[in-house]
Each structure stands twice: as structure tokens, then as C-alpha cells.
């Protein structure tokens, strides 16, 4: 299976590419629209600021490529900033429009959390309790088990408008935030599967298979 790791010049693409290759996928880092659209699956990684990332995607003319890939129905994964970019808008540094795949916004922890250090860095658990039953079943299918630990590094988080897009939530301090989403063929997570050991690799394996 050919997986395109989308290169927009500011992401953790090499560790993701290495993780996919270790699982036997034919993974390639690329910003070539044709190579992305021909792939069997795609990953939108990301580390950095939302506005800068959107400028890079615009400059590389990848916005419509990503949207066309998702419309094709093939599996698409977003990771960390790659999750946030799928949303309608963000208020990181400035008001900025996102890709608009998921209806909702990206917010900073500083407005909601006073008791914990920001950014949120380290291992934390994910939960799917009290969410849409079909999403709980899907989380289990791709290997996200209740109370499993995954690795997080972020200062911003997503707020989906439609609760049925929320796949898992995570608690940081006394605040609960959305830690992964599901919409059709799109799965995206705030945590880093590529840095989360065997459990994280299992998510790559199950999602793309």
C-alpha cells in the first residue's frame, strides 16, 4: 500500500515516514500533487504554527489536493497540527482560516487552563466513554483502547462543532479536550502515534489496512 506523507516544509514527516516503512508500507514524503493523489492513503503531519502552515499549504497549492484526496474516499490521517489544519479556523496568533474539512475551531489552552504547564507535553490517556457508540467501536477497531497512553506535544486543541466527529477525549488538568476525530475516511489525532511506541504503530497499521 502506497502512503503519501504530505510535505509542506514544516512537520515531523521523517519520523512518521520511518514508522510507516517499519510496518511494511511503501511510504513516500512528497509535495507533488500527482503523487499524493495517486497514493492509496495519505498523512498530513505537522509541527509549528497554524497560520504559517496554512501559508505553506497555499504557496505549494496543496489545499485543493488535500480536499480532492479526502473526497476520493481513501484513508486520510492528520497528526497534531495536521489535525488542527483540518478545521474551519484557528485563533493562534491571528484569526486564520483552515482547510474546512471539519466544522469547528482551534483554541489555545491558555484561555482554559491555569493549573498546568503549557504546552501540554508528555504521556496522557484517551477516552471514548459517553461518546457516539459507532465511534467507540471504530476506536477499538483501529487499536485505540480505553485508558491507553499516547504522547502529546501541543499548546492548542480542536473544538469540533459536531459531537459525532469526536473519536476520543483527553483530560489535562481539570479540562477535557478532543484528542482525536473521525469523519468518514478521515481520522486525525492530537497525539503522536509515531512517538507512542507499539500502541501508536498499531494505529497506523490498523487504519491503513
Do 191 and 126 form a contact (C-beta atoms < 8 A)? Answer: yes
Q: Pick the catalytic residue: 92, 120, 154, 192?
A: 192
Q: Pick the catalytic residue: 96, 154, 178, 194?
A: 194
* Residue 89 is a catalytic residue: no
From residue 183, how far is each of 64, 77, 126, 177, 201 by CA, in Å? 18, 11, 18, 17, 21
Q: Pick the catalytic residue: 80, 96, 178, 189?
A: 80
Nearest to 128 by CA among 176, 81, 80, 173: 176
* Residue 92 is a catalytic residue: no
Beta bridge partners of 62: none
* Residue 194 is a catalytic residue: yes
2 sits in which H/E element: strand 2-6
12: its cell numbers: 515531523
Do 45 and 12 form a contact (C-beta atoms < 8 A)? Answer: yes
Which residues are part of the catalytic machinery?
Answer: 80, 192, 194
Amino acid at each position: 500500500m502506497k502512503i503519501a506523507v504530505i510535505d509542506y516544509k514544516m512537520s515531523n514527516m521523517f519520523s512518521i515516514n520511518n514508522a510507516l516503512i517499519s510496518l511494511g508500507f511503501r511510504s513516500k514524503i512528497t509535495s507533488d500533487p500527482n503523487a499524493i493523489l495517486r497514493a492509496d492513503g495519505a498523512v498530513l503531519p505537522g509541527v509549528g504554527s497554524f497560520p504559517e502552515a496554512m501559508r505553506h499549504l497555499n504557496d505549494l497549492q496543496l489545499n485543493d489536493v488535500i480536499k480532492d484526496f479526502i473526497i476520493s474516499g481513501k484513508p486520510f490521517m492528520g497528526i497534531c497540527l495536521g489535525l488542527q489544519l483540518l478545521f474551519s479556523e484557528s485563533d493562534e496568533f491571528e484569526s486564520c482560516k483552515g482547510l474546512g474539512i471539519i466544522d469547528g475551531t482551534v483554541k489555545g489552552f491558555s484561555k482554559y487552563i491555569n493549573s498546568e504547564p503549557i504546552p501540554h507535553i508528555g504521556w496522557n490517556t484517551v477516552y471514548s466513554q459517553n461518546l457516539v457508540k459507532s465511534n467507540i467501536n471504530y476506536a477499538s477497531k483501529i487499536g485505540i483502547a480505553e485508558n491507553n497512553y499516547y504522547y502529546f506535544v501541543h499548546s492548542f486543541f480542536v473544538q469540533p462543532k459536531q459531537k459525532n466527529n469526536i473519536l476520543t477525549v483527553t483530560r489535562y488538568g481539570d479540562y477535557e479536550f478532543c484528542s482525536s476525530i473521525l469523519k468518514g475516511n478521515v481520522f486525525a489525532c492530537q497525539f503522536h502515534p509515531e512517538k507512542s511506541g507499539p500502541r501508536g504503530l498499531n494505529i497506523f497499521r490498523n487504519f491503513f489496512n
